[in-house]
Structure 1
Amino acid sequence: MRHYQPGSVVQMVRDAIVGRCRHIAPRTFLMVAAAVTGLVTGVTAYLLKKMIVFVSKSVIGIIHPDGFSLWFVLLALCGIILSAVFQRYVVRDYVEDGCSRIIMRDLRERKYYLKKRDMIAAFMASSITLGFGGSAGAEGPIAFTGGAIGSNLGRFAGARKSDVRLLIGIGAGAGIAGIFQAPLGGMLFTLEIMAMPMTTWAVMALALGCVTSAMTSASLAGFRIDFPVGSFSDFSLGLLPAVLLLGLFCGLYSVYYNTTGNIAAGLIARVRTWWGRAVVSGLMLGVCVSMVPMLYGEGYSAMGRLMSGDYGVLGVNSVFSDMATPPSLILLAGAVLVLKGIAKASATRGGGVGGDFAPTLFAGCVAGFFFAQVSDALFGVRLPPVEMAFVGMAGVMAGAVRAPLMAAFLVAEMSGTYRIFFPIIIVAAVSYATARIAERVIRNVKSCAERAR
């Protein structure tokens, strides 16, 4: 019989849980562990949203930006530096180089036991980065946090390595489901992005974890929809050519978005010291946000305003805030598209922590609006700007992230409507194919040019 010290209550509870789990069928254990992982991850996703909003309101309340302000440069610089310092000296772990990529790397290297500090490292670092205006998303950090929760929960319960591996994927998918309130999107993240091979029972456990996380996060948030876009009109086949062209445009823009982001990341990586990279990336981000303040933060509120018909949000707090004519709106939307890839890379590659999905949704929203405005101004073809912006979200995400199914279902679930799902899936598929073909052509041209030298 074991004798426990007064301070070993946790160990006593763990031994009791492990002893109980040994008498549970493996499939039953996996389902229970998936539900618990989803529950904890859903609560964490809700808390992460609240933390980002709290930090953002706190810093904005101090400076009160009104019109064009260089305070955005200082905020971005402070956010990146504080995030880098937190990672280097507090948790002593680096998660800025893509949280999802870190999970997939650990899985390839068969590192199934993630550190306990991984459950708070990305959570806190992303709260600082995004709260101070980092132009990225919270989905990467919460996927990493969810994976760490699943790993440590499985380890605490004495699960087999194979089950711990599955719980990492379930936790990561539950993180996506919780932050977007999109259970299908979370499932497809694990299956399409992480490409985890799963049995039927594992997929069922993944579904349970994602649904539990999404429902937990949604219930804590009062079941509010991220993008209450109202009712769309029925899709007309007469818009099919425009939808196909929008998919082509989104695919080409996705290549530009990734290319500019990679160039910016390469410039930051040339700086040898960690503090130098933080300063350079912070200044780059600050310049982008000060030029186009719509790039501040995750951009969900700006996207909601744009899709509700408030087109003035494109120039809010900028030197162009008084411009509201169609030509000016085209220029403002174009400026957002030009700088978004650079701003996202600056927020995540020099010490800041953020995700890749929200920036592509944001860019897609503006790209769809830009496409509708250009078609009206140059060709006299009037397209519904709100519907084009909504559909464009899935287009850029599918082309930039290479996940057309996840992009289509994620956008539909976030808005709470499948009424225009047909154009969404078309734009996502065309954008994905266009981006793949365009990048293959670029690689072939580069290789031919190198051989010709």
Structure 2
Amino acid sequence: MTPPRRLLLLSSLAALIGLAGGGAAYVLIHLIALLTNLAFFHRVGWTLPSFTGLDPSPFTVVVAVTGGLIVGLMAKWAPVIRGHGIPEAMEAVLTNQSRIAPRTAVAKPLSAAIAIGTGGPFGAEGPIIVTGGAIGSLLGQVVRVSPSERKILLASGAAAGMAATFGAPLASVVLAIELLLFEFSTRAFVPLVVASSVAAGMHSAFFGTGPLFAVPHHDFAGLSVLPLYVPLGLACGGLAVLINRGLFAVEDGFRRLPVKQFWWPAIGALGFACVGLVVPRVLGVGYDQISQVLTNRLTLETLAVLAVAKLVAWWVALASGTSGGTLAPILLISGSFGALLGKLAEQVPGVHISPGAFALVAMAATFGAATRAPFASIVFLFELTRDYNAILPLMLATVVADLVAGALMRDSIMTEKLTRRGLRVPSDYHADALLTTSVGAVMTPKVEVVPVNAPIADVAARFRADGHGAYPVVDGDGRCVGIVARGDLLREGDWTDESPVGDVAARDVVSVSSTDAVSEALERMLEEQIEHLPVIDSGQLVGMCTRTDVMRARRSQWSQEQAEPGWRPRRRRPQ
């Protein structure tokens, strides 16, 4: 259990991280707006422009490729900026004690601003999340904290980045737990809440309440139409599989190119810019396009074209290693897909649904299935709608989509890159059997002991006869006064075969009680580099705990997962 003072320290640091995350969101979004206005509309502006009215020209391609070349140069200095960055943050948590290089906090937002400002079909939220995580990690490297506490600060920064972008603090906390934290505890939950709350407050101050796109009220039509969200969930699960596998295939194509990695962002920029020449709506962050989808302003044909064009442009851009996010593009693609299905369902006699409601539910279902973070997706869209009537459709469709994606995909969009590097990411949370099992439940109660005055020759004979590695040494009252191991008898010393074993036994006995958790016993074994621990209650030796006994706790946990025969009625034998 974390001491209150330590928890207060982590919470105070999390508040600072929340302020920094909110400031990073404000700066990055306005920098993207400035670059976009300058590059495409030749004006100075601090609000994100819409690409709907853009008159595309060859200059559009020049701007995008220039941005790609700049990002390629920056990637030479900071390779971590490639892609959306969340896999790299996960890798830092799992393999590098949550340490992120200081340059990431500068290079990631700057490269994302350049990539998105020159037309990249990304959202700003991904780079802001990574920037917040980098700020948390840096603070955790300056202040004296443990690697586990640094992980909490990193996750707090990531949650602050998402909360500062969308004004959804609860979903930010859940997403950080599902993707980055790999634990759920009070010491982690409280700082996450603090950082997210502060960042969400800054979002309200900078951007107003609600997300950066319009989320109107929709009629979810009650329980009578709830079954319609089952096929929507199935379709969204298939869409998530298509999104992920398509991205992995395009990434594999880039790896096969006979050119240096430096040129990949420029090649990707050429690709998405060509798509933008045909469908300008796909360029940029796309928040305004999400608003149009949710407000049901687009025709059936426009929705179909927008979904396909955005998907292709985003595939090419992200696979090239350009810096950008995943959330907004997936929301736009899946929202267009859901609205399209909703409009088609409207034409069925007797079906009364809102295409915008289908679009919202499709966003949650697809993003949850693609990232394997269904709970965060449900909470996120609920926070955006603030409509309790949306809960049942969101839950049903998201769970169905997650089941489909889980059956057809081994990795999510967040973990595939790490799997290729040989790193497996935990996806489920379980109660640790070592924390919930007592030493008394796994120890060996019948312990062979040697008296403190037994001759060394007799003890050596027992070692040769039974193969034990160590014996507890007890006095006449049965109290453990030492422990003798095979190695103790091999050391040179001023003793003979007739000397009492107490002369060579280790007197500083490291022990545990039968009520201690097995995790505590394992921790002491690792700290002292020993294989055996005497179990002592009230001064009396009651057992011995070895590493084999520790594994017995894991075996008990494994046995809980094995299927047992169900109940069957007994057949009466005829008389």
What TM-score do the two structures reach when normalised by structure 1? Answer: 0.82
Unpaired runs of 5+ in structure 2?
A: 44-50, 411-575
The structure that is strand-richer by fraction is 2
Q: CA deviation at 1:403?
A: 1.1
Structure 2 residue identity aligned to 1:410: F
Give distance in 2, aligned partners of 1:112 and 1:193: 14
Q: Does 1:353 align with 2:323?
A: yes
The structure 1 residue matched to 2:61, chosen from 48, 68, 73, is: 73
Report how far residue 367 of structure 1 moved: 0.9
CA distances 1:97-129 after superposition (whole Å, capped 9, x unpaired)? 331111111111134332221111110011111
Partners in 2 of 1:374 and 1:405 — Cα distance? 28
Identity level (%): 25
Structure 1 segments of 4+ aligned residues over 6 angstroms from their partners: none
Corresponding residue number in structure 1 for 2:70: 82
* Residues 1:147 and 1:225: Cα distance change in structure 2 (over 3 Å): closer
1:280 maps to amino acid: I
Q: Kindly indicate whether residue 410 of structure 2 is the aligned counterpart of residue 423 of structure 1.
A: no
Matches within 5 A, 1:309-348: 309-311=296-298, 329-348=299-318
Q: Does 1:232 align with 2:202?
A: no
Give the counterpart letter for 1:273 in structure 2: K
- Counterpart for residue 377 of structure 2: 407
| Superposed displacement of residue 309, structure 1 | 3.0
For 2:21, the equivalent position in structure 1 comes to 41
- The amino acid of 1:366's aligned partner reads S
Aligned twin of 2:167: 181
- Cα deviations across residues 216-248 of structure 1 (Å, max 9, x unaligned)? 122122335434333333532221122111111
Q: Which residue of 1 aligns with 2:102?
A: 116
Give the corresponding residue for 2:9: 29
Superposed CA deviations along residues 115-171 of structure 1, whole A, max 9, x for unmatched, are: 221111110011111111211222221121111111111222333333222211111
Cα contact 2:18–2:199 (8 A) shared by 1: yes
Report matched runs for 1:146-161 at 5 Å: 146-161=132-147
Instruction: Tell me the amino acid that sits aligned with residue 112 of structure 2.
Output: S
After superposition, where does 1:172-211 map in structure 2 within 5 Å? 172-211=158-197
In structure 2, relative to structure 1, the CA distance for the partners of 1:260 and 1:341 (3 Å cut) is: farther
Distance 1:142 1:414 in 2: 19
Specify the code of the residue in structure 1 equivalent to 2:61: V
Tell me: CA distance 1:66–1:180, structure 2 relative to 1, closer, same or farther (3 Å). Answer: closer
Aligned length: 399
3-state SS of the aligned residue for 1:146? Answer: helix
Corresponding residue of 2:255: 269
| Aligned partner letter, 2:186 | T
CA contact (8 A) 2:237 2:369 kept: yes
Counterpart residue number, 1:62? 42
Q: Tell me the C-alpha RMSD between the 2 structures.
A: 2.4
Higher relative contact order (CA 8 A, sep 6+): 1
- Partner SS, residue 137 of structure 1: coil
How far apart are the structure 2 equivalents of 1:382 and 1:331? 21
Distance 2:69 2:115 in 1: 9
Task: Return the offset for 1:82.
Answer: 1.9
Of 48-57 and 360-369, deviating more is: 48-57
CA 1:144–1:225: 2 relative to 1, 3 Å: closer
Shift of 1:292: 2.2
Task: Indicate whether 1:253 and 2:231 are aligned.
Answer: no
Measured after TM superposition, the shift of residue 416 of structure 1 is 4.1
Q: For residue 222 of structure 1, what is the aligned residue in structure 2?
A: 208
Q: Which amino acid aligns with 1:75?
A: V
The runs of 5 or more residues in structure 1 that have no matched partner are 1-22, 312-328, 441-453
1:145 is the counterpart of 2:125: no
Amino acid at match of 1:80: G
- So what's the TM-score if we normalise by structure 2? 0.65
Q: Which stretch has the larger CA shift, 302-311 or 144-153? A: 302-311
Give yes or no for the alignment of 1:299 onto 2:272.
no
Decide whether the 8 Å contact of 2:368 with 2:374 is kept in 1: yes
Tell me, yes or no, if the aligned pair for 2:308 and 2:333 is still in contact at 8 Å.
Answer: no
Q: Would you say the 8 A contact 2:56–2:276 is kept in 1?
A: no
